[in-house]
């Protein structure tokens, strides 16, 4: 996206829904740095729970935008994906990962989180991968999202058939979404 035409997350989500309804597709996503006020330099300074708070804030904004601007019949659902890196073996969730969000390491090169929109059912959202470990995860203690705590998180480590055939690594990350959306 042209940085001169950067949009807010809400503007991006509404444009994306229009494109999905009128052109084609079942989903789209973009990295946070394409939004006004979320440049890569700013995002790279966010670590751990600060990065999680930023991701939840963007998700809340677009969820509210969809609810306010579209009828209940629409099936477009927003989500945030926080990339954690790659590994040669399936990785399992460990609560210490919350504090490591957004940090570079020998196995993780920083990628800003992505905001996505999907128009698929729950069974289709994650796709069919050959190898996968997925589990719901709890937010860190004392991490207050909103009064209802409607944002949920899933840890996922997976690789596709093509990745297995080519001996590629597993991809790991955290998905954030609203309860009832997927």
pTM for the full predicted model:
0.83
Q: For the ranges 1-5, 113-117, 134-138, 174-178, which has the lowest average pLDDT?
A: 1-5
pLDDT of residue 163: 86
Per residue in 33-45, pLDDT (tens digit) is 888 766 655 656 6
Comparing C-alpha atoms, which of 112, 147, 98, 131 is closest to residue 31?
A: 112
CA 43/CA 157 separation, integer angstroms = 23
DSSP H or E stretch at residue 158: strand 151-159
Whether 94 has a pLDDT exceeding 60, the answer reads yes
Per residue in 121-166, pLDDT (tens digit) is 555 666 676 788 999 998 887 776 666 668 889 999 998 888 888 9
Indicate the average pLDDT of the chain: 79
CA 104/CA 106 separation, integer angstroms = 7
Q: Angle of helix 48-69 relative to helix 9-22, nearest 10 degrees? A: 50
Contacts of 160 (CB under 8 A, 6+ apart): 127, 129, 130
């Amino acid at each position: 996206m042209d940085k001169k035409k950067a949009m807010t997350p809400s503007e991006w989500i509404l444009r994306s829904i229009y494109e999905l309804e009128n052109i084609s597709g079942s989903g789209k996503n973009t990295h946070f740095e394409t939004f006004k006020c979320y440049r890569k330099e700013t995002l790279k300074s966010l670590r751990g729970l600060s990065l999680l708070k930023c991701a939840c804030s963007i998700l809340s904004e677009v969820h509210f935008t969809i609810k306010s601007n579209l009828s209940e019949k629409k099936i477009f659902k927003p989500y945030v994906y926080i990339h954690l890196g790659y590994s040669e073996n399936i990785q399992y969730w460990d609560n210490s990962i919350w504090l490591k969000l957004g940090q570079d390491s020998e196995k993780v090169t920083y990628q800003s989180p992505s905001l996505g929109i999907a128009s698929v059912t729950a069974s289709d959202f994650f796709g069919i991968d050959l190898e996968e470990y997925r589990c719901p995860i709890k937010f860190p203690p004392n991490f207050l999202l909103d009064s209802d705590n409607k944002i949920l998180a899933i840890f996922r480590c997976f690789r596709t058939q093509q990745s297995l055939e080519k001996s590629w690594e597993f991809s790991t990350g955290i998905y954030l979404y609203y309860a009832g959306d997927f």
